[in-house]
Structure 1
Amino acid sequence: MRKKTVAGNWKMNLNKDEAVRLFGEIELRSEDVQDEVNLMVFPGHIYLDALLTARSYSSRILIGAQNFHPAEKGAYTGESSVAQLKQLGVDAVLIGHSERREYFGESHAFLKEKVNAAISHDLIPVFCCGEPLEIREKGEQEEYVQRQLEESLFHLPVTDFAKVVIAYEPIWAIGTGKTATKEQAEDMHSFIRSLVQLKYRQDTSDRTTILYGGSCNPSNAEELFSMPNVDGGLIGGASLKAEDFLQIARKR
């Protein structure tokens, strides 16, 4: 069965010393987090090498990149290829975060290319999906999320899809202090799992990890994670403090 996963998206925060120190604290204190919990962090891009160098040989923490370009190489000033990230030793990549979609215009088709590139280099794609407030208020959130999955993810054969982690992030709850209720989170996670079952099969659906993201913190993580289809969280602000992040990871 699927394992609980807690992933920290540090976004454009921390300097190098702070990033290395935070990673070291998480790594040192992760011993009291149950073995069946996967831990991941997504630091700022320019600190990936520093964290990968600092990571101990026996570390349980996966390190991921917040962004990459799907091309193998070429005239893409300021970008990094998935091949370059793989050579560094990166384990995972974020794809489809709402901030990349909104601020950088990443389309469904472009995200599909990124999914393919990540899979081709054996990196774990953490695929983000979720609706803005106006869509939620219209009651059209399921159709909105279904389109995101169908146009960027559901082209994969079952063997490749099995490598994907899905993160549901209601955009109206990201960095706003608002959080979906446990019932709202469970409803969408259950819906996503039903789509996976229809597209692929029951055993694939049962094994697919679906995370919740959107102002998840130590005070609300336990009730969110208590839902049967919520397999952990993609954590933003609360991942910038080791104790907060680890408290969330300890929640069941």
Structure 2
Amino acid sequence: MSEQRVKWVVGNWKMHGRLAENAALLQAVADGAGALVDVIRIGVCVPTPYLAQVQALLADRPVAWGVQDVSTYTHGAYTGEVAAGMAAEFGATLALVGHSERRAYHAESSDLVAAKARRALESGLTPVVCIGETLAEREAGTTEAVVGAQLDAVLSLLSVEEAARIVIAYEPVWAIGTGRSATVEQAQEVHAFLRARLVQKEASLARVALLYGGSVKPENAQALFGQADIDGGLIGGASLKSQDFLAICAAAKAASLAR
């Protein structure tokens, strides 16, 4: 692209963390991020009970924070739900929506994911919209049909201006937490397809950040991030280890500077 896109590295802690562990991890990440954020953006998406802790520890530090899900509702009798506006009050600026674990374990449809993305945007959060195919779908040759439909559901609900404010994370379900990553070529191929799909809606959406997730490690990060259409990563297990997470962030900076 003629205009270089900023690379992102976003950690997804999933359902991990305790107060003492969080403090040590966040301190280490924040200390190491200072030399990186002049080129890339770094964020962590934490379990909701820890938002106050993260807000206190990361205030005025170069790391953004967010939540792993938001409700489709703004308020009301929805026990257990967390509204995007609630997260925003704690300084959150990111919200994962449609992670494959939410789609699988909570039967979240693509239309529901789209509604969550819109709620996040309404509260000033950047939704990181997760899409991806299962192993069966990849082996059946339907990867593009599956991820294309997941993306289309979001794009059909959002205006061009709204769509320009989202981030997309392609996470092949078969590579999440398995230690098995898509090859660099497989990942780039899907990212290129997704960018073309964005451009079909509006040419300016070519600038939307596309992240790869699925067993990203320090060893494979730079090769992945060096691809033309991969703008960083959504990091699971490695985000719980400051040394690994910062190494992945450094790989994103190196890949960005190499362009």
TM-score, with normalisation over the residues of structure 2? 0.94
Q: Which amino acid aligns with 1:190?
A: A
Q: Per-residue deviation at 1:241? A: 0.7
1:51 aligns with 2:54: yes
1:29 aligns with 2:29: no
Q: What is the rounded CA distance, in whole Å, between the counterparts of 1:209 and 1:133 in structure 2?
A: 25
Q: 1:155 aligns with which of 154, 157, 161?
A: 157
> Does structure 2 conserve the Cα–Cα contact (< 8 Å) formed by 1:34 and 1:250?
no
Q: What is the rounded CA distance, in whole Å, between the counterparts of 1:175 and 1:37 in structure 2?
A: 24
Q: Which residue of 1 aligns with 2:234?
A: 234
The DSSP-based 3-state class of the residue aligned with 2:218 is coil
Q: Which residue of 2 aligns with 1:126?
A: 128
Q: What is the rounded CA distance, in whole Å, between the counterparts of 2:222 and 2:111 in structure 1?
A: 36
1:247 aligns with 2:243: no
> Does structure 1 conserve the Cα–Cα contact (< 8 Å) formed by 2:34 and 2:62?
no
1:14 aligns with 2:29: no
The DSSP-based 3-state class of the residue aligned with 2:168 is strand
Q: Which residue of 2 aligns with 1:204?
A: 205
Q: What is the rounded CA distance, in whole Å, between the counterparts of 1:91 and 1:185 in structure 2?
A: 27
Q: 1:42 aligns with which of 41, 45, 48?
A: 45
The DSSP-based 3-state class of the residue aligned with 1:76 is coil
Q: How does 1:135-214 map to 2 (within 5 A)?
A: 135-201=137-203, 203-205=204-206, 207-214=207-214
Q: What is the rounded CA distance, in whole Å, between the counterparts of 2:37 and 2:95 in structure 1?
A: 24
Q: Per-residue deviation at 1:157? A: 1.3
TM-score, with normalisation over the residues of structure 1? 0.96
> Does structure 2 conserve the Cα–Cα contact (< 8 Å) formed by 1:180 and 1:214?
yes
Q: Per-residue deviation at 1:178? A: 0.5
Q: Which residue of 1 aligns with 2:98?
A: 96
The DSSP-based 3-state class of the residue aligned with 1:151 is helix
> Does structure 2 conserve the Cα–Cα contact (< 8 Å) formed by 1:115 and 1:153?
no
The DSSP-based 3-state class of the residue aligned with 2:219 is coil
Q: What is the rounded CA distance, in whole Å, between the counterparts of 1:80 and 1:16 in structure 2?
A: 20
Q: Per-residue deviation at 1:34? A: 4.9
Give RMSD over aligned pairs: 1.0
Q: What is the rounded CA distance, in whole Å, between the counterparts of 2:24 and 2:241 in structure 1?
A: 10
Query: Identity percentage over the alignment?
Result: 40
Moved over 6 A (4+): none
> Does structure 1 conserve the Cα–Cα contact (< 8 Å) formed by 2:98 and 2:129?
yes
Q: What is the rounded CA distance, in whole Å, between the counterparts of 1:153 and 1:14 in structure 2?
A: 34
1:220 aligns with 2:220: yes
Q: Which residue of 2 aligns with 1:114?
A: 116
Q: Which amino acid aligns with 1:42?
A: C
Q: What is the rounded CA distance, in whole Å, between the counterparts of 1:224 and 1:67 in structure 2?
A: 26
Please say which of residues 30-39 and 115-124 is displaced more in the overlay: 30-39
The DSSP-based 3-state class of the residue aligned with 2:246 is helix
For structure 1, the 5+ residue unaligned runs are none
Q: Per-residue deviation at 1:223? A: 0.9
> Does structure 1 conserve the Cα–Cα contact (< 8 Å) formed by 2:37 and 2:62?
no
Aligned residues: 249
Instruction: State the Cα deviation string for residues 37-65 of structure 1 (Å, max 9, x = none).
Output: 000101111111111011132x1211010
Q: Which amino acid aligns with 1:4?
A: K
Q: Which amino acid aligns with 1:80?
A: V
The DSSP-based 3-state class of the residue aligned with 1:28 is helix
Q: What is the rounded CA distance, in whole Å, between the counterparts of 2:35 and 2:58 in structure 1?
A: 18
